[in-house]
Every structure is written in C-alpha cells, then in structure tokens.
Amino acid sequence: MTLSRTTRFLLIAAPAALMVAGTLAAAPAAAPSPQAAIAARQAGYKKMGAAMKAINDQLKTDAPAKAVMAPAAQTLAVTAREQPKLFPAGSGPTAGVKTDALPNIWTDRKTFDAQMAKLIAESGKLVAVMNGGNIDAIRVQAKATGGTCAACHRQFRQDT
Amino acid sequence: MPDAAMTASDTPAPGTRLARIWDAPIRLFHWLLLPLIAFSWWSGERHEMEWHRLSGYGILALLVFRIYWGFFGGRTARFAQFLRGPGAALAYLRSQASGRHEPAPGHNPIGGWSVILMLATLVAMVLAGLFAVDVDGLESGPLADYVSFDQGRLASDIHGIIFNLLLALIVLHVAAIFFYTVRLRQNLVGPMIHGRRRTGEQVADVTTSPWRALIGIAIAGACAYAVARGFRL
Ligand code: HEM
C-alpha cells in the first residue's frame, strides 16, 4: 500500500502540531509543575487532616469548644476549594516524587472530581452547622465530612 | 496423629505424677489474648474502629495483668524465674543440639526470651495504637489528642510496622510449638490448656493466691479504663 505524499505529511505533522498546540494551550494557564502540585496538595491534605483531628478531638470531650472547632471547619472549607487545581496531568505515580495518588485519578477523572465537589459541599455545610452551634448536628456533619475523605482515599489513594 | 504424639509425651516414667506447671491466670491470659489479637487484626483491617478500640483495651488490660503477674504470680509466671542470661540460653541450645531433651518445668531459657519479646512487642503495639490517627483525622486512639496530627500519623505507621513484627513472632511461636510436638515428642499445648504435665523429676505444683489474682485484675481493669477515657476521669 502506498500513501500519497499529502497523507504521509499529515500522519507525521498532525501529532506534532497537536503536541505543540497542547503545550501552548497549557502554558498560559501557568499550571504548577507536577512536583510543585504534589507538594502543595499534600500540604493541603495535612492541613485538612489536622483540622479534622482538632474537631474530632473536641467532639470526644464532654464540652466541645466551639472556639477550636469553628476555625478548623473554616480551614477545611477553604482548603477543600484549593485542592482540585492541584492534580494536573503528569502528577501521578510517574512524577518521580513520592505520591500516594493512584493513576485512576486521571483515567476516572469524573468520579474523582465528583468526590472533590462532595467534600466542598460537606465542609461548607460543616461551617454552617458550626455557626448554628448545635453539638449533635456538628457531630453528625463532622462524620459526614470525614466520610467523604475516607471514600475518596479508598478509591484514589494508595495504602490507607 | 496428634494423639500418638500426645501419648508419647504424656507417658509417665515409672514413679512420676501429674504436676501443675501453669497457673490458671496464665492460661486464661494466653487463651484470651489469642482471639483478641485475631479480632484486633480483623477489625483493624476492616477499619471497624469502635470494635478495634474495645478489643485493644482488652489486650491492654491483659498486658497490665501479665506484667503484674510476672512479679506476683505463680512460680512459672515470674520474670525472675524464666529470665535467664545468654549463658543459660546457649547451654540450653547446646544440650538440645546434642540430642538430650530435658523438658523444663516452666519456660526454658529460650522460651523465656521469646515470651519477653512477644510481650514487649504487644506493649509497643498497644502504645502506638493509643496515639494513632487515621489519614482522615476521623478515627484515633484515646490518647491521640495529646499529640499533633503528624505525630499521630507517625504512631499509626509504627503501629503498622510493629504489627508485621508481631505476626512474625507469632509464626515463630507456633513453629516452635510444632517442632516440640513433632521432633521432641513434647506436647506443649495440653499443659497450656489444663495446666498439668507428667514429669520425671520432682517438680512441685505451682501455687497461686486468688487474692493476688483479684488485685491484679482490679489494677488491670482500672488502667484500661483510665487509658480508654484518655485520663479524663
Ligand atoms: C495487639 C493489639 C493490636 C493489634 C493486633 C492491632 C492491629 C491493627 C491493624 C492490623 C490495623 C490496620 C492497619 C492498616 O490498615 O494499615 C490497626 C489500625 C489501627 N489501630 Fe490497632 N491494633 C492493636 C491495638 C490497638 C490499640 C490498643 C489501639 C488504641 C485504642 C489501636 C488503634 C488503632 C487505630 C486508631 C488504627 C487506625 C490507624 C490507621 O488507619 O492509620 N490499635 N490496628
């Protein structure tokens, strides 16, 4: 089978052009390097872990201190909104730095993004309930928020 | 097959008798510990943390009791009786290697070390668990609010590493018992169940005081309760 000169040109040039276009399109967004994104998201998750712990430590006591729980809930809600930006392509296990992010984040992105959205919604509710001040409601919502962390980790994080 | 091994080891030499070598609290400790470790393993892997903590408190109480019993228990339970120096351990190994097997009236010098190693590993396991925090910041040990999130995560990592060590020690423990049964024709499991063994030597019965046992149980219960409450009494 012989290919016309034009076909051959297209076969070689088209992928190259797509790659260049892709790079150009990505560049203006100033996406963080995969390594920087990994460091940033891990720091963010640690912050959220500490906030969750602060809330749950209070809820274990007989008189949970709202002064401790309310800022922690705020931290959760704010940080949850920053995390979705920090999973650029190439920041998976192939990035060359230690990450527990599983490759299925990038093959099943819809599910992953839905989990992100769920955390944003639940942590937002937690802030609202916090302002309400009913301890039982806070307890229920803290558990619901923690449940979204656990659900995503089971699916998209290595070694829990 | 196990019957053959049992009759072989239980056959009395002329003029021998059944001697009590393990007191009841030691045997209870042993047979309560086994299912609790199995249950802790299961509940830990399944992340059933409510159950996992309860099971852990049970193990904590058992360990406190065992340490107390190592000072106030029956003769064969006491650390002073079975903690022997490396010289004694080597001598024991040498006599085993030369084919002379003398059943010890209690722990032999090697077995004593294995007991200490297992107890120490369990203590470390429980200690790490008390401070452990899961990745979600949701579930934690009762003392985790005395440490930071990062320290709690470290405790959780240590908890996981020590668990592998514990499994290795348990495998070694079971393998040693198997070796004694099959190669040395000495049944170790029976005496740990009913407490008695036929002995050729003049071995006195192990005696204990029920009052001392009750005091130990009270101390163990109080310790486990205080820790479970995170010392907020
Ligand atoms: C000898 C006794 C114990 C055994 C055999 C044991 C075993 C385990 C196992 C197998 C896990 C799962 C680890 C994983 O999934 O990576 C675990 C997790 C955990 N254990 Fe224990 N455990 C014991 C005692 C305790 C005690 C006394 C506590 C505190 C009350 C405790 C608290 C925890 C916590 C909070 C976790 C969750 C940590 C995480 O998910 O990262 N454990 N344990």
Note whether B230 contacts A60, CB cutoff 8 Å. yes
Q: What average pLDDT score do residues A134-139 get?
A: 95
Determine the distance separating the centroid of ligand 1 and the alpha carbon of B118, expressed in angstroms.
Answer: 17
Please state, in angstroms and rounded to a whole number, the distance separating the CA atoms of residues B146 and A61. Answer: 13
Q: Phi and psi at residue B19, in whole multiples of 5°? A: -110, 145
Query: Which residues of chain A neighbour B232 with C-beta distances below 8 Å?
Result: 61-62
Q: Which of B50, B52, B126, B130 to mutate to test the pocket of ligand 1 (most atoms within 8 A of CB)?
A: B52
Instruction: Confirm or reject contact between B26 and chain A (CB < 8 A).
Output: no
Enclosing H/E stretch for B77: none
The 10s digit of each residue's pLDDT in A6-45 is 555 445 555 555 444 444 444 444 567 999 999 999 999 9
Note whether B135 contacts A149, CB cutoff 8 Å. yes
Please state, in angstroms and rounded to a whole number, the distance separating the CA atoms of residues A126 and A120. Answer: 10
Q: What average pLDDT score do residues B120-144 get?
A: 97
Instruction: Confirm or reject contact between B201 and chain A (CB < 8 A).
Output: no
A49, A60, A153 ranked by CB distance to B149: nearest: A49
Residue ranges per structural domain of chain B: 20-228
Q: Is 50 exceeded by the pLDDT of residue B3? A: no
ipTM of the complex: 0.80
End-to-end CA distance of chain B: 54
3-state SS string over chain A? CCCCHHHHHHHHHHHHHHHHHHHHHHHHHCCCCHHHHHHHHHHHHHHHHHHHHHHHHHHHCCCCCHHHHHHHHHHHHHHHHHHHHHCCCCCCHHHCCCCCECCHHHHCHHHHHHHHHHHHHHHHHHHHHHHHCCHHHHHHHHHHHHHHHHHHHHHHECCC
Closest CA to B105 of B217, B195, B4: B195
Q: What average pLDDT score do residues B223-232 get?
A: 95
CA atoms in the 13 A half-sphere facing the CB of B71: 6
Least confident of A4-18, B37-51, B108-122, B198-212: A4-18
Closest CA to B209 of B18, B75, B28, B17: B75
DSSP secondary structure letters along B93-121: HHHHHTT-----SS--HHHHHHHHHHHHH
- Nearest CA residue ID for atom 9, ligand 1: B44
Mean pLDDT of all residues in chain B?
89
CATH number for the domain spanning A42: value is: 1.20.120.10
How many domains is chain A built from? 1
Query: Which residues of chain B neighbour A51 with C-beta distances below 8 Å?
Result: 137
Classify residue B175 as exposed, middle or buried by CB count within 10 Å of its CB (0-12, 13-18, 19+). Answer: exposed
The 10s digit of each residue's pLDDT in B146-196 is 999 999 999 999 999 999 999 999 999 999 999 999 988 888 998 999 988
Please state, in angstroms and rounded to a whole number, the distance separating the CA atoms of residues A11 and A18. Answer: 12
**In terms of residue numbers, what domain contains A116?**
31-156
The 10s digit of each residue's pLDDT in A44-99 is 999 999 999 999 999 999 899 999 999 999 999 999 999 999 999 999 999 889 99
CATH superfamily of B20-228: Transmembrane di-heme cytochromes, Chain C (1.20.950.20)
A49, A60, A147 ranked by CB distance to B145: nearest: A60
pLDDT at residue A13, rounded to an integer: 53
End-to-end CA distance of chain A: 54
Does the beta carbon of B156 sit less than 6 angstroms from any atom of ligand 1? yes
Greater confidence (B59 vs B195) lies with B59
- Nearest CA residue ID for atom 16, ligand 1: B160
Q: What is the pTM of this model?
A: 0.86
Return the residue in B136, B147, B151 with the most chain A beta carbons within 10 A, the one to mutate for interface testing: B136
